[in-house]
Structure 1
């Protein structure tokens, strides 16, 4: 407004004038905040730092009420990230069915345990084997059944590397336990809410970590952690998280020992779940192992320190035993017109010895084998659905013919072997009616090639004929050639199976080579061979990750040039099953197969492949290789070679099997020797030197050694 002169005659009074700055005296507090820029920024940060996290907790964790318990023990928190929550009871359920001592997520409709869980057992004094544990909560979150009022914990120091942990109903029995002064582990039992932690040189190898321990007359549950890293077993390499496995002797079960190999850095430890009743094993996304069993007895676990997978397997086999009377003919081909019968379906209403039948179901295979042995006064070689018993050959059954199952069977055979079942069999092309002879012939061919390296080779022809002569043309030729090649490799297989499993995963054979641990597409065969199968239709190449050492293609002598852990791409064909031999090995085999394993063993001369491992020392090349051929438990042949000579000696004096005309059952001579890794100018074939000779092994009856000149 334009200023103007006041025309009033009255005197201008200054106090009557209302100045704008006087309005500041009447500004409200919220106006001051809105007008103050630094204060606004401060308030925004306070909201972001406090209110937003509270909202995230509300919507992401969404807890039940944390009402302090009346027993005076830990409250437990429901503020648990969703990926680490353990289901309380069956998990997914309406809120009104969730046990009042659990937490509940209204968004996911999930009932879950607090951390630490309120479902635990407590003791009011330092733990010992004879102390009785009492449940903290009188009921369990499975239909609010009553908790078993008296439970005991037994910790048995079985050996320096083997610890047994047993939770059991103290009303039924009691377990004395051993204590050792010299052991490679230590353990602590926390009180008053029980918690078990086992430590070894590699770190903590078992920890219940405040998880639930639930015991009732119908179901037991426990949760624990073995490692924050990778695990292997239960049919998978590696064992995937969010996976559920069922231990149950019937269609679809694991048909193997429930053994888990857990890794910490490059060290391994193992856990064997020793239960007889139907049991569920959950590998939780958070890394916990949750074991639930339909049992009224309890839960038992064997913990093995390792630190190598081989040591774990050896400890397991001390528990389960294994078949020590391997007969050579067992490695041949077995064709069954009818598959072994499945174990009967379990039934809650079927009573057996005053128990529900489901509590006895998993022992069916062993009970059958014992009854057969008692009646026939002999030990059966195969029995169906054996449980925790290495004394028989596993009868793998109910396998559909598919490319996926072929891969699974290779993994299962490898894991089964290192779990203690060295005599593992898998039905070639499956054994169910899910088989199409027209469309799955290529699959069957590949399955026969893979079965070349199985400990036991078994063909089921119950309804659909899957034996070799049921195929035509090229398919039949490839299958017969694969089976003949297997017969030729049986001397090596027979020797390997005296001391260890045949088919082996990479993490077992090369525990120090971390780049190979998770690979499930290549397998060791004993210590000297490696197979890299093509496991998809019309596959034209395979990827191989090179293990430590020098490697040659088994039949051509081609040397692989790469560093440890490097991927190598190799061409393959429908009839190929790429096989490699490790430098430093001597392989004894029989080149020309006869009609059976036993006739090949007796009539076909030995052949030898020497794969040299050469190193340079002070600019001098040193090459060496060694191997062994098991003849009987009283004698083996020992082979040692360099790039000029091979020396053969006998470990033992039982020469009758190879030299006695009337009772001998082994070949007595060597006629072909191939040498891999020599200087190129020494080769008389593309990648190797071949020597046609005659070596009479019976000279060892009178001579201490036989020396063969490899340059003659």
Structure 2
């Protein structure tokens, strides 16, 4: 049975071997296959058949008792003895990292204990990741005591007779399933006897039950479990019967099987794009720490995307902000462990990966449309020291013809001294308006005794604004407005907002209680919730910091975006280090304090792909690395890759050598300049992709598997990526090479620069990659608009367009262009935009203006190229008038000097 295969891939079987038969034990059993003599074969077979009939009758009766005649009982394997539980299906009963697990400790929890042959080393609890202490099949869990229909689904009562080992065990909880849309299931497990913390982000409220859901939900009564299957294929996408459910005051846990080992998301961690399911635990609790493996980092995103057989996909989102562990194991299976809140989760059934992300963003919110200039090349460093030194860098870039974000009359020295951050320095009272006014309004986080909590950040003793309080939002606006009156800034970079603290807790320490030291502490760096942040017992308007810690960056971004709208009356540009689901509505993100190492260059690709899955497409890494001395070759290759980050910024640390393009040799400088000019020429493409992200929840930087979900070879690729569906980027991520190997899914591809075609059946190809080149290919069937680049985006945005069509074998292609003034708020919503669709079919290109606006009237269409025109035309017509053209041997047709208006429909045809 399909579900049985999910739970126990290696089943027991009876098979004829010569005259006798062989008994195969389950995987992981200690018994070896044994052959039985022919003389007992007949008797054993008869007995076996009788037993099967009896067991079958008992099973059918049990199914009828549990579910009645109209329900399907989920298939579960019989409870095996401890030794017969396959290793991959052993769910950890003793996940505490700092404890040496012994038989006595394990069996005190009524769990199975099978240690490695050698005694465990200090603090070690696994042998090759396999838990030594794991749950037996009959471990006490909840039973489904009742189940009633509701307007949106069902609501039931779960009861448990025996308390387990974590204190505050809740014996009665409620489960509610809501069939919110045909592709979205919402499940809540709550404690009806008390009010527990719930994450306050706005989520859509369904008003009626989905009429024809693409999923089916089954309930297991004893032990309780949910089984969610895809109706079209029968694939089990959620099965919580595989391990017991826990619901205690400070410990909530449930597990599920996974239909495959292909799982993505679960940010923020430094890892490959495809997560490792070989006993891999990912901890979530916002933390200020340079990106490193096996560590909780700046953001918290309890969402995963899982691929299924045949290319379908589903997603899962746990709406919970408390510290948590997500444990992956090779069954494949996954366990959620969190220390507060409720179990509030969504299942999205796609069916393709792009649809899963759209459905997820329908819950958390689509990303904001960025202001146009924010997509340019940003140059930044910690340690310019003076405004004069900064101006020298700006002039050097301009003299070298290197594009950049426009730099006006900002008083840099003043900004460096007084710029706002996530925390407020605490000088002597009476000397600093933001601190004094903050005290007066009561905007700062309080300690357990109700006094202003003081930590330490830059440049010293620090008070922390409580952004969960609307009063703080108004104080924040007042500070920014006063600062803007002196230094007219355009955007905000909010840093250190995990929140960071150079102390553990505060200058006065933290109380010693179960909030600071919960019964179970997830695997946070430092083993304490307060490690390099404020006390978990700190008081905020919304709740204890214990509950809202990982929301700090989100709440500051909300306050910052709101204030900027009021101050500059344009789209707010905010870049935040700490993030949480729905952050894309308010800010972008950079991947933190990386290093000038090749590995950091490579892992940045996984970072930008993951954050596009998480609804924050405006994302990038510090080009050339933040810390350590930059290498010229590394910086060239990183600039080429960074030119295709959705957010492009070169940033390095104090006392490091400069790493802007002008700091290197003429050859390196030219290579970087070419890469950045290439980015600027592609801005019509990038801007349109952000429009679709804002409007439809699409990704901007996109994994190959999103466009080729049936090609399993694409599932682990994180050295290449796509812009949208059309542009394939193949960067160099290794030193000392002039070639790169890229995977080309089955399609017809064209070299972006030359139009040379590459027809692939789904294969790896070796590409020339000299130091001055990043490989870029255009997928068949696409039309994109490029633009003559200039030193700033505002100048570039008015340059003539060049249309580039990559024809399929049948000569077809299509694309679109979104255009507006680049800065006004809600231009789509207020219909202040232009939208043009391009199509090519039967040797005719048509441009159709679906929505017009004055912005489009300023942009001419100067030329068009068509890749893959199989025969040289004898005539080209533009709006039925003869036009001059060029046709090259590699089947590229180019028509120049068009003089067309983007705001008017036109045709280009050939024969």
Name the TM-score, length of structure 1 as normaliser. Answer: 0.80
Partner of 2:522: none
The answer to whether residue 742 in structure 2 is matched with residue 541 in structure 1 is no
1:227 aligns with 2:415: no
Higher relative contact order (CA 8 A, sep 6+): 2
Alpha-carbon contact 1:588-1:629 (below 8 Å) kept: yes
What's 2:688 paired with?
495
**Partner in structure 1 of residue 392 of structure 2:** none
The equivalent of 1:351 in structure 2 is 538
Distance 1:585 1:51 in 2: 55
| Cα distance, 1:479–1:150 mapped onto 2, change above 3 Å | same
Q: What does residue range 377-392 of structure 1 map to in structure 2 within 5 Å?
A: 378=566, 379=572, 381-389=574-582, 390-391=584-585, 392=587
Task: State the partner residue of 2:250.
Answer: 218
**TM-aligned CA deviation for residue 309 of structure 1:** 0.7
Task: Tell me the residue number matched to 1:455.
Answer: 646
**CA apart distance, 1:55:** 9.2
Aligned to 2:758: 560
Deviates more, 1:169-178 or 1:227-236: 169-178
Find the aligned partners of 1:309 and 1:658 in 2 and give their Cα distance: 34
- Check whether the contact 1:279–1:294 (CA below 8 A) recurs between aligned residues: yes
- SS of the residue 1:258 aligns to: strand
> Is contact 2:285-2:550 (8 Å) kept?
yes
Aligned equivalents of 1:83 and 1:324: distance in 2?
42
Structure 1 Cα separation of the partners of residues 729 and 215 of structure 2 = 37
SS of the residue 2:30 aligns to: helix
Compare 679-688 and 462-471 and name the one that shifted more: 679-688
C-alpha separation in 1, matches of 2:27 and 2:329: 26
Q: 1:406 to 1:130 in 2, by over 3 A?
A: same
1:316 equivalent among 360, 364, 389: 360
Rounded to whole Å, the distance in 2 between the matches of 1:197 and 1:298 is 20
Contact 1:349–1:357 (Cα < 8 Å) also in 2: yes
Aligned to 1:341: 495
Q: Give the distance between the partners of 2:25 and 2:215, measured in 1 at CA.
A: 47
**Cα distance in structure 2, aligned partners of 1:351 and 1:580:** 53
Equivalent position SS for 1:88: coil
Q: Is the 8 A contact 1:165 1:302 kept in 2?
A: yes
Task: Summarize deviations over 1:275-305 as a string: whole Å, max 9, x none.
Answer: 211211111122110111122x222221111
Give the stretch that moved more between structures: 500-509 or 338-347.
338-347
1:194/1:657 Cα in 2 relative to 1: closer, same or farther (>3 Å)?
A: same
Give the secondary-structure state (helix, strand or coil) at the position aligned to 2:554.
helix
Residue 348 (structure 1) shift: 4.8
Instruction: Specify which of 467, 475, 479 is matched with residue 672 of structure 2.
Output: 479
Question: Post-superposition shift, 1:157?
Answer: 1.8
Root-mean-square deviation over aligned CA pairs: 3.2
Residue 165 of structure 1: CA displacement?
2.0
For residues 646 and 26 of structure 2, the distance between their equivalents in structure 1, rounded to whole angstroms, comes to 61
For 1:427, the equivalent position in structure 2 comes to 622
The equivalent residue for 2:201 is none
1:661-676 alignment runs, 5 A limit: 664=858, 667-670=859-862, 672-676=863-867
Residue 785 of structure 2 aligns with which residue? Answer: 588
**Within the alignment, does 1:164 sit opposite 2:186 as a pair?**
yes
What corresponds to 1:26 in structure 2?
Answer: none
Matches of 1:172 and 1:277, distance apart in 2: 18
CA apart distance, 1:150: 2.9
- Gaps of at least 5 residues in structure 1 are 1-44, 59-72, 616-622
Q: 1:257, 1:416 within 8 Å by CA — same for their partners in 2?
A: no
| CA shift in 2, pair 1:106/1:112, >3 Å | closer
Contact 2:560 2:574 in 1 (8 A): no
Closer/same/farther in 2, CA of residues 185 and 254 from structure 1, 3 Å limit: farther
Q: Which residue of 1 aligns with 2:112?
A: 103
Q: 1:184 aligns with which of 196, 200, 214?
A: 214
**Counterpart position of 1:264:** 308
Contact 1:347 1:358 in 2 (8 A): no
Q: Verify the 8 A CA contact 2:749 2:778 in the aligned structure 1.
A: yes
Which string of whole-angstrom CA distances, capped at 9 and with x for unpartnered residues, describes residues 221-278 of structure 1?
1111131453333354432212221222223527464332222212111112322112
| Residue 372 of structure 1 pairs with residue 560 of structure 2 | yes
Residue 94 in 1 paired to residue 285 in 2? Answer: no
2 CA distance for matches of 1:612 and 1:396?
Answer: 37
Distance, in Å, in 2 between the alignment partners of 1:471 and 1:511 is: 42
Q: Distance in 1 between matches of 2:28 and 2:601?
A: 51
1:466-507 per-residue CA deviation (whole Å, 9 max, x = no partner) reads 332333322222112111110010111111221132211111
C-alpha distance in 2 between matches for 1:83 and 1:298: 28
1:399 equivalent in alignment to 2:408? no
Q: Do residues 507 (structure 1) and 705 (structure 2) align? A: yes
SS at match of 1:417: helix
Q: 1:334-356: per-residue Cα shift (whole Å, max 9, x none)?
A: 23345743222335554224965
The 3 A distance-change label for structure 1 pair 121 and 380 is: farther
CA distance in 1, matches of 2:264, 2:629: 33
* SS of alignment partner, residue 480 of structure 1: helix
Change beyond 3 A, Cα 1:371–1:637: closer
CA distance in 1: counterparts of 2:241 and 2:838, whole angstroms: 52
Q: What corresponds to 1:287 in structure 2? A: 332
Alignment equivalent of 2:748, drawn from 525, 550, 560: 550
Between stretches 482-491 and 77-86, larger displacement belongs to 77-86
Compute the displacement of 1:80 (Å). Answer: 1.1
Distance 1:340 1:105 in 2: 49
Paired residue for 2:551? Answer: 363
Change in 2 beyond 3 A, CA 1:131/1:675: closer
Distance 2:135 2:684 in 1: 58
Where 1:87 maps in the other structure, the secondary structure is: coil
Corresponding residue for 2:424?
Answer: none
**Aligned mate of 2:227, from 178, 197, 222:** 197
Query: Which stretch shifts more, 489-498 or 686-695?
Result: 686-695
Match of 1:618 in 2: none
Question: Which one of the candidate residues 334, 345, 351 is aligned to 1:307?
Answer: 351
| Alpha-carbon shift at residue 106 of structure 1 (Å) | 4.1
Matched, 1:708 2:908: yes
Measure, in 2, the Cα distance between the counterparts of 1:224 and 1:699.
53
Could you tell me how far 1:626 is from its partner in structure 2? 2.3
CA drift of 1:540 comes to 3.0
Per the alignment, residue 639 of structure 1 pairs with 838
Identify the residue that residue 625 of structure 1 maps to in structure 2: 813
Deviations 1:132-176 (A, max 9, x none): 423343132xxx424123322222222110112222333334999
Alignment partners' CA distance in 1, 2:324 and 2:183:
26
Q: 1:538 to 1:52 in 2, by over 3 A?
A: closer
Name the CA shift for 1:325/1:519 in 2 (closer, same or farther; >3 Å): closer
Question: Post-superposition shift, 1:688?
Answer: 4.5
Between the aligned partners of 1:374 and 1:700, the Cα distance in structure 2 is 34
The runs of 5 or more residues in structure 2 that have no matched partner are: 1-18, 33-65, 67-77, 121-130, 199-204, 290-295, 383-492, 501-531, 567-571, 693-697, 821-827, 874-885
Q: Is the 8 A contact 1:680 1:687 kept in 2?
A: no
Which residue of 1 is the match for residue 521 of structure 2? none
Contact (CA 8 Å) 2:844, 2:908: kept in 1 or not? yes
